[in-house]
Amino acid sequence: MFARRLGPDPHANGARTAAASGCPDILEMDCGDFAVIGEDITETARASMFPTASCGNDERVVRVPRKTLVLAKPDIPDKV
């Protein structure tokens, strides 16, 4: 299912994360899509979405810390 992690391991070098049992992460899937692990902010985000954005019943809005995405940037492919 997962091919690789984008960016460094959030627990590398003994680093600790704020979450009690998890941590934000970005994973590339075998099919080429991406999966994101982060804080579920769906309910609070719904009221602030752009008029052309929506979140379906089978979708969740997930907060990914800026640091996680910036550190993953070198691993994100440039081509579709």
Residue 38: predicted pLDDT: 94
Q: Is the dihedral of CA 4, 66, 23, 53 positive or negative?
A: negative
End-to-end alpha carbon distance in the chain: 19
Mean pLDDT of the chain: 91
pLDDT of residue 13: 73
Summarised one tens digit per residue, pLDDT across range 37-54 is 999 999 999 999 999 999
Residue 37 to residue 9: CA distance in whole angstroms: 13
> Three-state SS for 12?
helix
Q: How many CA atoms lie within 13 A of 71 on its CB side?
A: 16
Q: What distance in Å separates the CA atoms of residue 72 and residue 27, rounded to the nearest whole number?
A: 10
